[in-house]
């Protein structure tokens, strides 16, 4: 009887392991937890300052400039966890491309706007998890305060963009839609009519002068 129980337990364990393996299929880590391998400065050279791998976290400790993946991505799901210092500001940009001489991309805003005791950015298009300056989050947004970990997700699939925060989809956009074009026209990107329409590009972590921590950055590429 004990042997039978052990056999069943082993079988269930193998099934669970197989399920976990299948669930991880296609996911690639963008941060190994111990180095800045896979990340570069804008010019493609190694990151020389500002950002460090520390205690399994990717940390912006001091001024060093934005950092970028060493390759481009087109269609993908990007999962990441982040926490920000009080009053801090950062962001995750993606599908970076040159628009009239400026290297730009849609941005998942990372910002400390969760504490009612501190002033917030009044424009909701510039608050956490927004499609920065384009679309604000919907009513499902639930943000944890500065110093606590939040989970983010970016889905870029063809012309579709989604931003998720703590398990809820808070932004949906169609970059080919009239609504998107109109929103760009009302933003600081107004003079760059094709902003946000690049089909691929590098991913960027923004140095906006604040301390910020990232972990569990993983990406799954989607078929074209």
Total tally of structural domains belonging to the chain? 1
Beta bridge partners of 152: 80, 165
CATH number, domain with residue 198: 2.60.120.560
Predicted confidence (pLDDT) per residue in 141-168, tens digit? 999 999 999 999 999 999 999 999 999 9
Does residue 6 sit within a domain? no
Beta bridge partners of 27: 220
Question: Nearest CA to 145 among 114, 107, 99, 109?
Answer: 114
Does residue 35 sit within a domain? yes
User: What is the spatial distance between Cα 161 and Cα 129, in angstroms, rounded to a whole number?
Assistant: 12
pLDDT at 20: 41
Question: Tokens 């510039």 map to which residue?
Answer: 126
Residue numbers of the domain that contains 113: 29-221
**How far apart, in Å, are the Cα atoms of 10 and each of 6, 22, 36, 74, 81?**
6, 18, 39, 41, 33
Q: Block means of pLDDT (10 residues each) for the chain, length 224 residues?
A: 45 45 76 97 96 97 96 98 94 97 97 73 92 98 95 98 98 98 96 94 96 98 94
Does residue 13 sit within a domain? no
pTM summary value: 0.88
Does residue 121 sit within a domain? yes
């Amino acid at each position: 009887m004990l042997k039978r129980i052990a056999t069943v337990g082993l079988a269930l364990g193998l099934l669970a392991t197989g399920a976990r393996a299948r669930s991880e299929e296609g996911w690639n880590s963008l941060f190994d937890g111990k180095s800045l391998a896979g990340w570069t400065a804008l010019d493609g050279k190694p990151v020389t300052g500002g950002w460090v791998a520390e205690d399994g976290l990717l940390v912006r400790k001091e001024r060093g400039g934005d950092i970028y993946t060493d390759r481009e991505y087109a269609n993908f799901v990007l999962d990441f966890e982040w926490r920000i210092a009080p009053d801090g500001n950062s962001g995750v940009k993606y599908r970076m491309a040159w628009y009239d001489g400026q290297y730009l991309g849609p941005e998942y805003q990372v910002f400390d706007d969760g504490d009612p005791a501190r002033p917030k950015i009044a424009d909701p298009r510039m608050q956490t998890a927004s499609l920065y300056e384009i679309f604000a989050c919907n009513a499902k947004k639930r943000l944890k305060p500065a110093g606590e970990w939040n989970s983010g997700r970016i889905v870029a699939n063809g012309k579709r963009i989604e931003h998720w925060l703590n398990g809820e989809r808070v932004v949906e956009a169609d970059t080919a839609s009239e609504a998107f074009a109109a929103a760009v026209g009302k933003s600081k990107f107004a003079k760059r009519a094709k902003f946000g329409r690049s089909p691929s590009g590098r991913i960027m972590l923004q140095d906006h002068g604040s301390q910020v921590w990232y972990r569990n950055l993983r990406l799954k590429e989607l078929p074209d």
